[in-house]
Structures are given as structure tokens and as C-alpha cells.
Amino acid sequence: MITLEQLIDVFGTDGNKLFEYLKNKNKGGVNNSKGNIFENFFTVYQIAKFFNSKANPNDVLFSSQVICFIDDLVIEEIEGKNDCHYQIKDVLALGWNSGDHPIKDDFKKQKELSMKLGINPSLILVVSNKEVHDSLVASMPDEIVDFVKVIHFETASSLNNLIRKNSFIKDELIQMCALVKPSTDKLETLGAILLGSWDSTDKSKVSLKELLSRSYAQNPHFIKGFSTEISQKLSDILKSLERFSYKVENGFLNWDFNETDNGVLEYRIGSMEFEQWENDIFNATIKSFEDLEPFLAS
């Protein structure tokens, strides 16, 4: 949130007037964002994208409708002091200079303010309509062309339709999904999990870690883990079992017995649940598949 003092420091006496503008802009934005499916879909895309980039989940914070000039979605990367500010528009017409407060001026002021605060901002206008995108790119004013980007992100009436139409979110959800070659319905389930996690927060400086924790709590099976191996001690136990084999895929333990029975352990490797499961194995006497089988069914 931008303070009055910061605005006065950067913009002088205009700071008071700008602060009132931002408060009114925020109030309208909050009201308009309720049920704004396009903003929510774009946020789900960004959550998946940051997950797939293997960003430090404690370092990435998501906020919606912040009191600042470019305010629909702000993603802060704390360690590098890199903030991404998104203005998200699901409209059929938009110009840089229209209205009492042209969007061009908001981008210019956000750039100036962020730089004064020692933050390197990425300033992005997201639109759902391809013709609007093309028009904005072609008419971008010279004074913002070096630091503002316009992207087209197609929207839809439902997650299922969005995944079918929008390759950006589809590709990120595929990468994030723990399932191999997931169907559209499975990707829709994953998207709904992320959307539910985001909607269940106050949408103010919500860490990627918290969003993932909420998502895993809803359903631990759809989001892949990053672990590629299990501990040597556990591996030795499993490899000692006759006709039993295992592999690690998408952060989960896949097992096979005698080529007739197989499954995937429900706990993501590295999770607290997996560590407890592993500890239970260590505390038991496992000499055969019959000894292990009750643990696989838990």
C-alpha cells in the first residue's frame, strides 16, 4: 500500500490529490473485482507460472487491488525487489489517453513511484480482447514504450473452456500437475484448487507458500512435488522386497508388485505426511510386500 507521505515525497503538493484519487480508484476496483472471473483466471495462471519456475515460495507475495497506480494484481519478489504490477482489463475498447485519469498517466506515475522506493517494477497491461491488444500496442505513447508491456490473455466463461482456448494457462497447469498427460478435466480440477486457495485469502501479500499449502490441503494428489528421490534408508528397505519395485515421478512414489498390483502413494515426497509415513516404515518390521501393503493402503 502506498502512503500519503510517499506520494508527497515523490510528487510534491500533488501527492494529496493523488492519494484521494488512489483511494477512490481502490474502492471502485475492490467493488468491481468481486466476482471478476478474468482477474481470477489470470492470477491462477501466475500462481502456476511461479510454481513451475521453482521460485522460493516464501519470497513471492500476491496482492489484489492494492492502493497504487497499477493495482489489479501486484506480485512482489522480496529478495530481488522486483515487483510486477498488472492492470487487467476485460473490455472491448480501451485507449491510453481516454478518461479523466488516462491509463498512460497511471503507468508513468507507478514507474516513477516504484523507482523512488528502490523497486524495479515490471508494468504490464493485460487485456482479453486481441483487437484491443493490437490497438494498444500500435498506439502506445513514446513516453511509456520503454517500460510498459501489453499482453493478450484470452478469457472464457469457465475454467474448462479457458483451458481449451488459452494455451498459456493450459501449459502451466500441465507442468504443475502431478498426473502424467492430464486430461482437460484434471487440469480444470487443478485450476479450481488454485482458484479456491486464492479466493480463501484476504488477497493481501499472500505468499506462494501459503497458496500452495492451502492447495495441498484441498487435494494433495494434483500438484507435483520437486523431489526426485527418496532417502537411502527407505530405498534400501523397498529394494529388499522380492518382486517389488518403485520409481519417483512428479514428486510422488509410484510402486509396482509382481506386475499385477501397483499404485501411487498419496503423500508428496518431502511433505510432513510423507515424513510421518516414512518414519512409520522405519519403526515397523518390513521383510515382505505383505508387511508393507498396509502402509501403502493408508
User: Grid coordinates in use for 99?
Assistant: 478518461
Cα distance between residue 145 and residue 225, in whole Å: 39
Give the domain ranges of the chain: 4-218, 232-296
Q: Where residue 180 falls among pLDDT bands split at 50, 70, 90?
A: confident
pLDDT at 167: 97
Residue 111 near residue 121 (C-beta atoms within 8 A): yes
Q: Which residues, listed in sequence order, are joined to residue 207 by a DSSP beta bridge? A: 61
Long-range contacts of 2-7 (CB under 8 A, 24+ apart): 2/66, 2/67, 2/68, 2/113, 6/113, 6/116, 6/117, 7/113
Q: What is the pLDDT of residue 283?
A: 95
Q: How confident is the model at residue 9 (pLDDT cuts 50, 70, 90)?
A: confident
* pLDDT above 80 (res 72): yes
pLDDT at 33 > cutoff 70: no
Give the mean model confidence (pLDDT) for residues 258-273.
88
For 63, the 3-state DSSP assignment is: strand
- Residue 224, C-beta contacts closer than 8 angstroms, at least 6 positions apart: 176, 177, 178, 250, 251, 252, 268
Pairing status of strand 148-152 against strand 120-127: parallel
The predicted pLDDT at position 34 comes to 45
- Mean pLDDT over 73-85 rounds to 88
Closest alpha carbon to 128 in 42, 45, 191, 50 = 42
Tens digits of residue pLDDT in 209-262: 999 989 988 887 889 888 889 999 999 999 999 999 999 988 899 999 998 899
Distance CA 277, CA 298 (A): 9
